Structures are given as structure tokens and as C-alpha cells.
Structure 1
């Protein structure tokens, strides 16, 4: 009975993993890059004016407010982003309301402030780290709901593959310490075990939490059975499920003095030990504006806390958010923070990133194992799948490299520049897939790996040729983020080059 059960789990593990293998690989790679979303943003905006010295919060506010009055006088919402360790610069943003008469869409605008000269710094339009991060759940080109559904199905199959993988491997931890080189399929199984076992707690957490975060799509019929159909009903469910527990107090100062500078001074007096992250105002130029003060979280998995000031009758009310109101919402909140990792410091963020890449390696090696097991049958479909597997597994990193390269090579004033950065990623991926269909199969893997290595070597070189940043300049200016990015690209190139040389000496991968 036990043998039959484990055998059935082996079948389920194989097909749950392979049926959506390329999608899961795509999710792991792009999701892992998302843990450095802010750092990627910084690199893709080389014109940003960096603030290295400590500056009084009031000085930042005065300069930012002056620029907002000049550039966004009619905007209904203002936000001022204060410099932090991950974002060492000052930004202002505002909401431009739609104007059908002038054919102006509703959109957000962002500008960087150069404190040294007290002026706006022009920054190139880019998709940045955020769009790259969003790829792992919206899949970019397809309708949003379709992307969510496809991601939900893939995540569910990933969870099944993880659980069944633990069941079928009786000696899973013992096998982790076993590696047999030059043994063909056996070697790939050992590699698969290494990628799977070491970060297994992370893989279980990230997969289950991802499934929960998409529950409004995957469990839509359950929501609709209680709240009804339609976007408004779904919004009602979400607002109720995410209800915040708040503490509201009346503030003594007069309503006439309600302003960004007043709420900043009051917040610093009450919460003086916290660093300001954002200042904002909504419903500007109305009878009931709301002022927001965001703080960086000092500990735990929360990454920010919010205090709001609003006018209620003749009083000023201060509202402090204290977490979610319901037990289910608190669990959801914890899973969301664990999944996104926004609270993580640099070392934990690297651990998240490496664990995510191990997940990509786990899926890729699993796909290779499946194809090698089927080699003996050698059906008409198998050679095609083998070629496409190589093209996709190596093509995605090549696409990411081209995404970064396009940021430097596309003209700054190019129309739809940000969109074409993302197009370049998928064009490069499609080119690798096309190349894999026609190049001789025996040396396909090393050739693709050489292309990937060369692509990542180009990134620091092109960066040095097209901007004022290079390895030496970044080192002497102590711009550790730009220096770290270039070094990471070179390390990636070296690892890919070693892989290409190693694979080239062996028999074909699959």
C-alpha cells in the first residue's frame, strides 16, 4: 500500500511540476529580481540626484513643497518621498486628474529633486524594477485577470509538487548531501535535490503565501456567493477583509494651522524616534483634506506605519494605524509581508533572492530530468521540447540582460521608451527560442550559455560608455549601489561562462 501510494505521488509530482514548468521558472526568476526592485530602479535611473548627507526633515519639506506648488498646483494629491538606505534620493509625486476635453488621462507624475541646486532633476522614463517585479504575477501582455488566474493555477501545482516531492523522497535530507558527478540522469537528480531541499521552507512559504495573495481570483466564486458579482462587490469584500485597527485622537492645534509643516512637526514630537518615509496630502483644495505621515518600521515584518491627520467638524483628528482588525486579515497581512520581503535588510534580502533562484534551478532541473527520462522513447515531440526547454531556461536570463542594456541604449527621448524596455526582454527571449529550434542540438546549451555570459558582461561596459557611472567612479564616490549592481552583473557573467565551459565538455544536457 505504501509503495503504491508513493508511486502515485511520484506521478503527481512529475506532472504537477512539468506541466507548468516554464511558467514557474519565469515566476521564480522575475519574482526573485523583485527583491531588489528599489536597487534596480536606482540603476535604471542614472540621472537621479543622490542625497548622501543627513538633511533636516523641514528643509526637505520646504524645497519639495516649493516644487510641488510650481509643477503640481492643481493636483488633488501630493507625496514627498524622503531619502532612505535603499532609496537615497528625494522624490515628489502628484496625481494628475483626467481631463477628457484636453485628452489628458489620469496619471501619476514623479520628479527627482536635486537638493544641492534646489531644482528638479530630469530622469529618463523607464519601466524600472517595479515592472520587472510585477511580471511574476501579471505576465505583462495578457489581460490582468487572465494573468492572475494562470499564476494561481501554476502556484497551486507548485505547492502540489513540493508536498509530493517530500513524500516520494524517503531519504530527502540524506540525499541532499550526496552528489554523483558524471552520472547522467543520476547527477541531475542530485542537482535537483540540492536546489529543492536547502531552501524548502522558503519554497513552501513563498508558494503558499502567493496562493493566498491571489485568493480574490482563485476563490472568486466563494466571494461572489456571499457578496455578489462585479468589481464593486469584490472591492467591498476586500475593504472588509483588510479593515485596519486604528486609534483616533483629537489634536489641540487650530484647524487653520493644518498643513504639511504642522503635521510634520506634530508627528516628530509624538514619534521622534522614527524616520520619516513619506509625507502626503489627499483631497487638496477641498473642505476636508487628509494629511499622511509614513514612518519606516523599526522592527518586525512591518515595513512602514501610517499616521493621518484630518479635519472633523471643528477638530483635528489624528489616526494611527495599529494593524489589521480581524484574525484572518492579520494572517493575510503576515503572509503578504513574508512573501514580499519589504521589511528585510540587505542580508535577508540576499537570502530571499538566492532562495528564489534555487527555486528557478529546482524547476529547470526538474524539466531537464523529465526530458532525459523520456529520451529513450524519442518521439517526434521530445526533440522539439528539448530545444525549447534550452531556449527558455537560458533565454529568460538573456532577456533580463537585454532589458538592462536597452535602458542604456534606447534614446532618452524615445517615444514609449519604458514599454520598449519590456519589449526588448521578450524579443530577446523569443530570439533564443527561435535560435534553439534551428541550431544543432548537441551544442545548443553551451552556445546559449555563452550568449548569456556575453550579455551580462556587456552591461557594466555599456553603463560606463553611456553614463557618468563606472566601477571606478562608483567606488571613489562611495556609490555602493551602482558599484554593487555592476559587480553583480560581472559575477553573473562569470558563473554563466563557467557553466558554458562545463556543459561544453560534457554530453548534451538533454
Structure 2
């Protein structure tokens, strides 16, 4: 009975890992990179400095809004946290104007001087790609991600049950042994960060809770809109007044918001009807504190009087927020963030080695390795396209940030398009090439693209690797060094595949090959 149960769990682990495996590889890779999304955004906007917004910068934003946004229906201020990267921006719009018609200005977070960085979505796109994908409706994307996360949880639990020597596998890694080596790599990376995988998968499901279980809302509320109205109450109605009145200095308003609720830090501020006696302020928080304050704070923008603060959260809401904070890791310092990142890399390697192991294991069972079944052929090519194409596309995204003209229309969209064009090119190439050559060429392309990033950066900006090291610009230097290290890893992998002697399995009859995909 025990043997049969373990065998059934092994089969479940195999198929719940393979079928969504290519999707999970993409989710893990983009999610892992997203732990440094703000640092990536800073690198992709080399024209601006990073850091917390100073009082001087708030005064500069205040002056711009009062001088250039006369008669606007609203002012909006986006305040990045101390990690920076996303830019300190102010925007305004005339009464009744559409959201896309807003005028936006980006400022230096230290001096408040106006800057004009290149148009890019930076690391934010990589973060959103992790769960919203691209080129498709958001809700469909989240349904797919939810199903993949459920399959991941099943694969983790069934893998734990299947393992007979889970602790021994932590120390066992043999090289040059073919299928055994791939299994060792899969096992080691699976065991080394097992608590992280359980946490990140479960908390990811919690963050998509109402996508998976919309009945939790319908059981207690007449409609989804009623739930959100109760969970996120709107701003209180302000007293109607037609007389003119100046808005309080922006610095003082932000200070009052931050003191209205313990631990609150304003991240997004909107002043409604500035210049009138009925002007109000709506503030939304930054999310860089573990279990920190949520919800909006509302002030009278003329007097600074607090009109409303977020209601106290119940146990269920607090639990959900803590789970989401654990998943996103925005609260983490540099050491914990590095641990998140390394654990995510292990997860990416775990999924990738599992996909490769599936084909390596079944290749020996093929009756004719030169003419494999279509299912095997497709799985092998998808492995190449996903495992080499995804990182190649990310490298192309970074290169496009440096190479595209600054005045190109819809420049940020073309950066993203570059990622998918390279990814699609690798997919087409993998379908047309023999598997062994496809791996070598795909890995080599990754190495070349990542190695080109610091070179192109040095040629197109004054913040190349040597210049960054000389001036002590650790972020830009660390980014370029990480690109070179990634290129070296892909080059080594390509060299290993190229120099490894192919072991040609003996041909089998169809009867002997039966069960090749069991």
C-alpha cells in the first residue's frame, strides 16, 4: 500500500510539474527578479538619482503645482520610498479631463529640480509580468497564474511524499552522471529552499484569494461592489464651498498624513479642487512595512484637519495583509531581500531541472531517438524556448532601454515588445534546430546578450562599470557585475552541453518502448 501510494504521488508530481512547468518557470523567474524591481527601475532611469524624497523636493513640487497647475481639478503627487527608482512625480488635470490627459512632471527626489528621464516601465513591468502577464486581459492572466500556483502546491506536497531520503538529498550532488545528475540538481534545489517554496506558493494563492474563491464575497455581500465599498470606504463628502482658499503647503500636508496613523507613510497623494475652500486631500500609503498601515487618509487640504483614517482591520484582513507582505517582501532589508532572491533562483532552477529531467529520463525509452514522438519532441523544444528564451528576452529588455531613441513614440511599450520579439525568435529557432544544437545556441545567445548589457551601458551613459566603481555608485556597479556573472554562467552551461559526449541509447521496439511517457 505504501509503495503504491508513493508511486501514485510520484506520478502526480511528474504531471503537475510538467504541464504547467513552462508557465511556472516564467512566473518564478520574473517574480525572483521583481525583488529588485526598484533597483532595476533606477538602472533603467540613469538620468535621475535615487533615494527618499526630501523636504526640499516637496517644496519644489509645491511651487510647480501652484505656478503651472492653476485651475486644475486635481493635483497628484507620487512619493517613492527610500529605495527610490520609481521617480518623484507630480501631475494635474483640468476639471473634467480624462485621466490620460494629465500633465506629468518628474522631479529629482533630493533637490526637487525637474528632470526628463527616458520613458520606461523599468522593474515595475517585470513585477507585473509575474502575475498579470502581458498582451492579454488581466483577469484571464490571473486565472492562469492561480491554476499554475495550485499545481505548484500539489507538486511540492507530492514531491515531499515521494522523497525517501529528503535530508540526504540536501548533500548529494553528482556531476557528469547524466540523468542522475539532473535528478540530484532537482532534488538539491528543491530541498535547500523548501520552506520558501511552501511559503511563497501559499501566500501567492492568498494574494489571489478572490480570484480563486469569489464565493467568499457572494456569501456575505449582495455584490462585489458592495464588498469593496465596505472594505475600502470612499472619502467623506466635503462641505461645498465656492470661495477661493489656498491649499496648505504640501510639506505640511504630507507631514500631517504621516502623523494621522502610527507607522503611516504617504506614497500617493491627491488634492481635489485645489484653490477652493472645499479642497480635500486623499492619501494612500507606501507598502514597505511588514503588516503596516493600509487604507486611505483624508484631510481638509485648506486647514489640514483630519477627516477620516483607515478603520481598524479585522483578523481576516490583517492575516491576508501579512501573507501578502510575506510574499512581496517589500519590507525586507538588503540581507533578507538577498535571501528572497537566492531562494527564488533556486526555485527557478528547480523547475527548470525538473523539465529537463522529464526529457532526459524518457529519451532512453524511445524506440528511435532520431525520430521521437511528437509529444517528446514538443516538450524538448519548449524546454529550450522557455529556459533559454525567457532570460534572453529579459536581457533584450535591458538592452532596448539603452539603445532605443529617447524620443521614440511609445518607447516603454517598445522595450517590452523587444523582450517578446527575442523570446519568440528563440522559440522559432528551437523548433527548427536539433535539440543539442538548440541548447548550445540558446545558452550562447543568453551569454552574449547579458555580456552586452554592461558594454552598451558604458557606451551610452556616463554610468558604466568602471565609472561607477570609481565614483562609488554601488547600485550601477552591482547591476553590471551581475549581468557579467549571469553571462558567465550561461557561457559555462553552453560549453558543458557542447563538450559533453552524447550517449546514444539503444533502439527499442515499440513494445519495449511502451510506457515511455508513464
Shorter-chain TM-score bucket reads: 0.7 to 0.9
The CA deviation at 1:180 is 2.1
Instruction: Point out where structure 1 has 5 or more consecutive residues left out of the alignment.
Output: 245-254
**Residue in structure 2 matched with residue 485 of structure 1 by the alignment:** 479
Pick aligned residue for 2:432 from 425, 433, 438: 438
Alignment partners' CA distance in 2, 1:70 and 1:217: 45
Which range moves more in the overlay, 334-343 or 438-447?
Answer: 438-447
Alignment partners' CA distance in 2, 1:495 and 1:166: 29
Alignment partners' CA distance in 1, 2:136 and 2:260: 47
Task: Assess if the C-alpha contact under 8 Å between 1:279 and 1:291 holds in 2.
Answer: no
Which range moves more in the overlay, 450-459 or 255-264?
Answer: 255-264
**Residue in structure 2 matched with residue 251 of structure 1 by the alignment:** none
The CA deviation at 1:444 is 2.2
> Is 1:194–2:188 an aligned residue pair?
yes
Alignment coverage as a number of residue pairs: 487
Task: Assess if the C-alpha contact under 8 Å between 1:80 and 1:90 holds in 2.
Answer: no
Pick aligned residue for 1:67 from 61, 64, 68: 64
Alignment partners' CA distance in 2, 1:7 and 1:260: 65
Task: Assess if the C-alpha contact under 8 Å between 1:126 and 1:417 holds in 2.
Answer: yes
**Residue in structure 1 matched with residue 206 of structure 2 by the alignment:** 212
Task: Assess if the C-alpha contact under 8 Å between 1:98 and 1:105 holds in 2.
Answer: no
**Residue in structure 2 matched with residue 497 of structure 1 by the alignment:** 491
The CA deviation at 1:96 is 3.9
Task: Assess if the C-alpha contact under 8 Å between 1:78 and 1:92 holds in 2.
Answer: no
**Residue in structure 2 matched with residue 464 of structure 1 by the alignment:** 458
Pick aligned residue for 1:358 from 331, 343, 346: 346
Secondary structure of 1:397 counterpart: helix
Secondary structure of 1:374 counterpart: helix
Pick aligned residue for 2:149 from 155, 160, 170: 155
Task: Assess if the C-alpha contact under 8 Å between 2:74 and 2:95 holds in 1.
Answer: no
Task: Assess if the C-alpha contact under 8 Å between 1:76 and 1:94 holds in 2.
Answer: no
Shift in CA distance, 242/498, structure 1 to aligned 2, threshold 3 Å: farther
> Is 1:453–2:422 an aligned residue pair?
no
Deviations 1:303-338 (A, max 9, x none): 66788352499992365558x521111110001101
TM-score normalised to structure 2 length: 0.84
**Residue in structure 2 matched with residue 284 of structure 1 by the alignment:** 273
> Is 1:423–2:417 an aligned residue pair?
yes
Q: How does 1:123-142 map to 2 (within 5 A)?
A: 123-142=117-136
Alignment partners' CA distance in 2, 1:189 and 1:349: 28
Task: Assess if the C-alpha contact under 8 Å between 1:51 and 1:83 holds in 2.
Answer: no
Higher strand share: 1
Alignment partners' CA distance in 1, 2:378 and 2:492: 26
Task: Assess if the C-alpha contact under 8 Å between 1:263 and 1:309 holds in 2.
Answer: no
Shift in CA distance, 399/89, structure 1 to aligned 2, threshold 3 Å: closer
**Residue in structure 1 matched with residue 100 of structure 2 by the alignment:** 106
Instruction: Point out where structure 2 has 5 or more consecutive residues left out of the alignment.
Output: 235-244, 367-371, 505-518
Secondary structure of 1:468 counterpart: coil
**Residue in structure 2 matched with residue 25 of structure 1 by the alignment:** 25
TM-score normalised to structure 1 length: 0.85
The CA deviation at 1:491 is 1.2
Secondary structure of 2:167 counterpart: helix
Secondary structure of 1:389 counterpart: helix
**Residue in structure 2 matched with residue 249 of structure 1 by the alignment:** none
The CA deviation at 1:468 is 1.9
